[in-house]
Structure 1
Amino acid sequence: MVMITFLFKKSSNFFVKKILSYIYIAWGNIFYEKKVFDSLSNFLPLFLGFFLSKFFFKNHDIIIVYLEIIFNIAFVLISLQLLIRVMNSIMEISTSENNHKTIAVHSFSQLLKIISIIFCILIIIAIITKNNLISILTSLGTITAIVILMFRDTILGFVSGLQMSSTKMIKVGDWIGISKYNIEGNVLEINLISAKIENFDKTITSIPTYDLISTAVTNFEVMRKKNIRRIKRSIIFNIQSFYFYNSENLKKYQNIYLIKNYIKEKQKEINSFYKKNVYNNVDLNAKRLTNIGLFQKYALEYLYQHPNISNSETLMVRHLEPTHYGLPIELYCFVKTAESIKYEQIQASVFDHLLTASKEFGLEITQIVNLDKKLNSINNKKIII
């Protein structure tokens, strides 16, 4: 029997390979690689062996009964093997392109495999016990709650896969970040129960598929397609270093091409203001520029003129809420690349320049270590009321 199966399988594979070599069919090669034809070749030896066995043991009814049981179980197992290999082949064909349908195909095929295995187990139980399959299924109704509890993750994963496929939230290959697990990387696989994410440190993280729709997930794929990446970082300045400019202070900035036109316009506004209003040598009555305001304008023009900063996206230099460390000035803009190495280089060059340029405006950058020392020294002083 084993020898017949071996010879038939070898001969059938030989002829199938010859046919596929002459007639190129993409799905035929995939079926051959997934050994679908091997499973089909098992049926003929099985039937042949069964009929020969019945012929030899035709006078032994008990042996024939057991042979029928073995044949039926073998037929169910071979059919299950064929079904799984066909599903693997279909999944390979349908997921050759990297799209949102990949998730639904993976989820559906894995769910179908699980259902097929359970159904085959029930059929085998019915064959061994000689009971009707319907009666076995009816008896399982009493333990439906337990079955649902056992396959809770499977059901949730299947629903999640369908939802992600229909809404096109996430697909295999997307660059995502999940703050709950502190992970960021590319999606390698989304199957029925878990999803695999390759982090940027080349480690692999597996999370439940349901978490991709039940938790906050940031999808950076749109940013990568647009080939842009955001800079959102602030510089904290010591408020004690802020002061007003007078006409003498502004002279050294009139040759800086990024802000010289801005200074000229502001000086015209200031001169027209003084013609209409009385100054009386009171500082608060005066209309003057501040060093922090002039630096903010310089930083904004610097970003506009930077060749690697996108002007078509949101670009601003803004004040954040003051803290006990000082006043944060935030840069909000987009770099013309999504590649991490180039992005970090551009971001570093921007902040290197602005951190150094801030000294030219008389600004002091807050260093938390030094500030903590000052606070400690103040706390150690005795305050006399």
Structure 2
Amino acid sequence: MRDKIKDWIFSFYENGNMSADQILHSETFQSHQLLWTLGMFVAMIILSILIWILSRQVMLQFLHMLADRSKTEWDDILVKNKFFYALAQLVPLYFMDYLASIVFQFYPEKLDYALRLIDVVLVFVILISVMRFLNSTRDILQQKESLADKPINSYVQVAKIVLSIMMVMVMLSVITDQSAMKILTAFGAMTAIILLVFKDTILGFVSSIQLSANDMVRIGDWVTMEKFGADGDVIEVNLATVKVQNFDKTITTIPTYSMISDSFKNWRGMQDSEGRRIKRAILIHIDSVKFASPAMIERLSKEKFLTDFINKRQAEIKQYNDEKGYGPDSLQARKQTNLGLFRAYMEFYLHNNPNINQDMSLMVRQLEPKELGVPMEIYCFSKIKDWEPYEGVVADIFDHIFASIHTFELSIFESPSGRDMRGLVKELNA
């Protein structure tokens, strides 16, 4: 094609038996070289625009039609992310790369610059195309249930950074006409500046890899990080940030490297387990703790949960006291207490609660006495792990405690209120 165009140009200057070389060096042709070059340059631009419009219309319409007719979703996602639109830009660029040698054949120096410029734009368009393909790959993978909790976006961003660095090296190599290794060596001398300018990006890059490799955070995890006021579900894991949607629907953005350098709580282990822990204590007045009277024992032995327990324990106590020779009024004699009976009652109550996991730890324990009373702690695991129904299970347990504790002649500590103070003043004035 080049030779045909060259012969066509020379046909305007044929004069007798002049050779092509003679025409090329003739004064008449030399005066018209610039005009021919400008004319062909304008023609190349116009043809490139027409080819771009044609390739875009034909390619996009044809591919969109195929995407609409196909049953798969990946082609629709490629269309949505304008991947084929980017590919359509390559056709006129390849045409210009081929035609430039014809347009600037009389100006070799200008040809070199033109080819470099076209190649740089070509590499840039290829980079954009690959970026859009990676975006489409991310969207396709995020739709898979098995990968829904994986930080796919973080992986894609890492791939984009590596690819961008490689393409920038190629573009600089084309512009400077130097090998990529020499440019990479020059960048090595600028390492200190790069580390200073891109510190957060590099930290985020390394942290993102660590989070992914160690499976520390997944999309959908419930995390708590008091330093940043985060308490909610992870909705996005990026190269530089982790987004958490708090339970009040606000969004907290946490730097990715902070998830590595600082501590945070991930509730995934609880969500994947067989139960959610209940660990809450009530404070009982020490003055209300006493030995259970025969009347109390007789009354409580009628309760379904305590009948067998009280009968068995009374038999053990009687045997022990008889062996030691302790009378019923002896201080050293073994006796049941109202607090001990209440602990036993609550254990039976929890064992018979259908919302409590019986295969996990379950206890009602007495903690160290404090100035506010004797803490009695409920420690067990709820089968229900979702927040709202879980709180209902906990509330039901402690509602029962508050309502039934007076049956054991125990009282719960609470600070004096204004009502208490008014009642005291009335008693003093009476």
TM-score, scaled to structure 1: 0.86
Match of 1:346 in 2: 393
The 5-angstrom pairing of residues 1-385 of structure 1 reads 1-21=48-68, 24-52=71-99, 54-61=101-108, 63-99=110-146, 103=150, 105-226=152-273, 228-279=275-326, 283-369=330-416
- The more displaced of 182-191 and 315-324 is 182-191
Q: Does the 8 A contact of 2:82 with 2:132 survive in 1?
A: yes
Q: How far has the Cα of 1:79 moved from its partner?
A: 1.2
The change in CA–CA distance for 1:84 and 1:347 in structure 2 (over 3 A counts) is same
SS of residue in 1 equivalent to 2:253: strand
Identity among equivalent positions (%) equals: 33
Q: How far has the Cα of 1:331 moved from its partner?
A: 0.5
Q: How far has the Cα of 1:350 moved from its partner?
A: 1.0
Q: How far has the Cα of 1:182 moved from its partner?
A: 4.1
Q: How far has the Cα of 1:351 moved from its partner?
A: 0.5
SS of residue in 2 equivalent to 1:47: helix
1:263-294 Cα shifts (integer Å, max 9, x gaps):
11121122212321233576421211111111
What is the CA–CA distance in structure 2 between the aligned matches of 1:158 and 1:124, rounded to whole Å? 24
SS of residue in 2 equivalent to 1:284: coil
Q: How far has the Cα of 1:59 moved from its partner?
A: 3.6
Gaps of 5+ in 2: 1-47, 422-430
1:325-357 Cα shifts (integer Å, max 9, x gaps):
111111011222112111111211110110121
What is the CA–CA distance in structure 2 between the aligned matches of 1:42 and 1:287, rounded to whole Å? 93
Q: Does the 8 A contact of 2:169 with 2:183 survive in 1?
A: yes
Question: Larger RCO: Structure 1 or Structure 2 (Cα < 8 Å, ≥ 6 residues apart)?
Answer: 1
1:36-82 Cα shifts (integer Å, max 9, x gaps):
22222111111223444554454445653443233122112101101
Matched to 2:313, the amino acid is K
Q: Does the 8 A contact of 2:280 with 2:377 survive in 1?
A: yes
Query: Considering only CA atoms, is the larger Rg found in Structure 1 or Structure 2?
Result: 2
Gaps of 5+ in 1: 375-385
Q: How far has the Cα of 1:128 moved from its partner?
A: 4.0
What is the CA–CA distance in structure 2 between the aligned matches of 1:160 and 1:52, rounded to whole Å? 48
Matched to 1:195, the amino acid is V
Q: Does the 8 A contact of 1:178 with 1:184 survive in 2?
A: yes
Q: How far has the Cα of 1:200 moved from its partner?
A: 1.1
What is the CA–CA distance in structure 1 between the aligned matches of 2:398 and 2:84, rounded to whole Å? 63
Q: How far has the Cα of 1:15 moved from its partner?
A: 1.5
What is the CA–CA distance in structure 1 between the aligned matches of 2:359 and 2:350, rounded to whole Å? 12
The change in CA–CA distance for 1:100 and 1:16 in structure 2 (over 3 A counts) is closer
- The more displaced of 314-323 and 202-211 is 202-211
What is the CA–CA distance in structure 2 between the aligned matches of 1:185 and 1:235, rounded to whole Å? 28
- The more displaced of 330-339 and 29-38 is 29-38
